[in-house]
A and B are shown apart, each in its own frame.
Chain A
């Protein structure tokens, strides 16, 4: 393959036929370029969606109350389900071995918070210490709610990053300060971030026991949240969490006199089921981009094949001359293919580099909730270039073979 004499012949032909070279190159380079763009966009969307989803621990199960829609044991419809501390205790005892993190919650959708002249409305959530892990929240200053806070009904608050910057202008100077939450003074003990972003960071966590007392809830709780232990096997994890959801549903319905088939009296959200849907969605998106990408490559190959056909047609006379001077059919095929492969490879790389540069250049600027890190697997892109080159060589082989077969006398007559 490495024959310096032949390379010289090819460079001469390439240099003297710039337009032809340029056209072949552009069709190949744009094909690869488009593929890189598509793959990057696909990956960006996939990352974006997965980030959205990563806002909570992936194996999270939450139970919210609903309103009955079916009569049961003589009780009418339209009853609001109200969870009590007892529900939480029974569930946690019964499923002690199934669950990992757990928390009962008493939340207030909008609580007025005042610090000095600053004031704002945020969601207040009374939670257990475990809730940090259920939410995937990370403490960036101070600490989270702890067991002692729960036991002693401490008036302490862990505030979201957004809340902190709103009230204190930064993310740590609020620690130790007192804030007024719905008329009660709380001491800020921590600041957290959440992968869910600003919306999730606009919350204030307080001990659930404190919340129940502050809002005169008595034994009432609003919801419960759990995580399941991590499993390596997604299907196993999914089966376990579905099983848990089902049993939870059964027990709570019995306790609250809800018809077993009443779909709206309890809302159980199983994040693994959602995860599965999202994985399927991103798979579909990826598959779509691949599909379009492969079509682009096929178009590129057809383009290369076409150009090779034109090249051979255009060079028929030259081929005739070369054959009259002693070129063997093999040397004609080698000459045409060598040129085709060389041009395809070089322009493939150019397209690849431009595509990668484009993503490197604009990628960081189009960070959004549903699009992030639009990277392209270099190996995949490289494989595609090589694939295109091989395919281009095959596409070029047919016209090259035909050219080699033309009888010199016929080729020479070509004008």
Chain B
């Protein structure tokens, strides 16, 4: 599903340049649930953003589901994001003036789905994350865990090939984190490819594979035995 070869990325700050990714090689097959770990500043978010076509690598190759991601103009990039990728952010990034339902429906709007179908599909995803009853709440009327579940529903609504989550549980307490992980595991069980950036070993343990970054390189990449979140809830 994801093939990355010798990926490099530097940030230019003033006159100095910061080499963040120094040659990442890494493949993800369909149906994997990968945790990307590493200390703060090791380049986890940078990597995930490149995978999400939110940012571009300086060099190296990235092939997403057989499609080379290189020198895309913003219009094509938008279309690929819409079609291939679902994002979940640490800070939820819901649009504050839209209801839960409208937030979930937004990617479908950009797919050109009509209003009626949008509402129906969005509702089914809200049901899936257990928030059908909150469909008409605004984000500030929801708890952190609920917001993140709405965000997950939104990421899934466009039916992406890959779900990318940057510290999805970073702003949540342990119990809520496990609830969110349970949801993510369920989605993965249905076959969705998921990459999660996390600091927390217990969250990483709930994935099927752990990749550890250090100073812009992968220092460890191992399959693990998945802990079911359900046991902890």
The listed residue (B54, B55, B74, B89) touching A328 by CB distance below 8 A is B74
Let me know if B95 and A326 touch, CB within 8 A.
no
The residue on A at minimum CB distance from B89 is: A412
A-B contact pairs, 24 of them (CB 8 A): A5-B115, A9-B109, A16-B98, A318-B95, A321-B93, A322-B106, A324-B54, A324-B81, A325-B87, A325-B106, A325-B107, A325-B110, A325-B158, A326-B79, A326-B82, A327-B78, A329-B74, A329-B75, A331-B110, A404-B74, A407-B54, A407-B55, A408-B81, A412-B54
Question: Which residues of the partner chain B approach A329 to less than 8 Å between Cβ atoms?
Answer: 74-75, 78
Least CB distance from A410 to B in Å reads 9
Let me know if B82 and A17 touch, CB within 8 A.
no
**Does A330 interact with chain B (Cβ within 8 Å)?**
yes
**Does B17 interact with chain A (Cβ within 8 Å)?**
no
Let me know if A327 and B110 touch, CB within 8 A.
yes
Question: Which residues of the partner chain A approach B55 to less than 8 Å between Cβ atoms?
Answer: 407, 409
Let me know if B115 and A408 touch, CB within 8 A.
no
**Does A93 interact with chain B (Cβ within 8 Å)?**
no
Let me know if B97 and A17 touch, CB within 8 A.
yes
Pairs of residues from A and B, 10 with the lowest C-beta to C-beta distance, nearest first? A326-B82, A16-B97, A326-B110, A409-B54, A328-B78, A325-B107, A409-B55, A328-B75, A408-B54, A329-B74
Question: Which residues of the partner chain A approach B95 to less than 8 Å between Cβ atoms?
Answer: 318, 321-322
Interface 1/0 per residue, B76-98 and A, CB below 8 Å: 00110111000101000111011
Let me know if A328 and B106 touch, CB within 8 A.
no
Interface 1/0 per residue, A1-38 and B, CB below 8 Å: 00001001100110011000000000000000000000
Least CB distance from A59 to B in Å reads 69
Least CB distance from B113 to A in Å reads 9
Taken together as a complex, chains A and B put the C-alpha atoms of A382 and B83 apart, in Å, by 44
The residue on A at minimum CB distance from B45 is: A409
Question: Which residues of the partner chain A approach B75 to less than 8 Å between Cβ atoms?
Answer: 328-330
Let me know if B102 and A12 touch, CB within 8 A.
yes
Let me know if B97 and A326 touch, CB within 8 A.
no
Interface 1/0 per residue, A324-342 and B, CB below 8 Å: 1111111100000000000
Least CB distance from A345 to B in Å reads 22
Question: Which residues of the partner chain A approach B133 to less than 8 Å between Cβ atoms?
Answer: none
**Does B154 interact with chain A (Cβ within 8 Å)?**
yes
Tell me which residues from 82 to 135 in chain B have a Cβ below 8 Å from any Cβ of chain A. 82-83, 87, 89, 93-95, 97-98, 102, 106-107, 109-111, 114-115
Least CB distance from B57 to A in Å reads 12
Let me know if A8 and B97 touch, CB within 8 A.
no
Interface 1/0 per residue, B160-188 and A, CB below 8 Å: 00000000000000000000000000000
Taken together as a complex, chains A and B put the C-alpha atoms of A240 and B98 apart, in Å, by 76
Taken together as a complex, chains A and B put the C-alpha atoms of A12 and B105 apart, in Å, by 14
Taken together as a complex, chains A and B put the C-alpha atoms of A412 and B95 apart, in Å, by 12
Question: Which residues of the partner chain A approach B97 to less than 8 Å between Cβ atoms?
Answer: 12-13, 16-17
**Does B145 interact with chain A (Cβ within 8 Å)?**
no
**Does B42 interact with chain A (Cβ within 8 Å)?**
no
**Does B49 interact with chain A (Cβ within 8 Å)?**
yes
Let me know if A323 and B93 touch, CB within 8 A.
no
Interface 1/0 per residue, A347-376 and B, CB below 8 Å: 000000000000000000000000000000
Given contacts A16-B98, A325-B81, A325-B110, 17 further A-B contacts (CB under 8 A): A8-B115, A9-B109, A12-B97, A318-B95, A321-B93, A322-B95, A323-B78, A323-B81, A326-B78, A326-B107, A328-B74, A328-B79, A329-B75, A331-B110, A408-B81, A409-B54, A409-B55
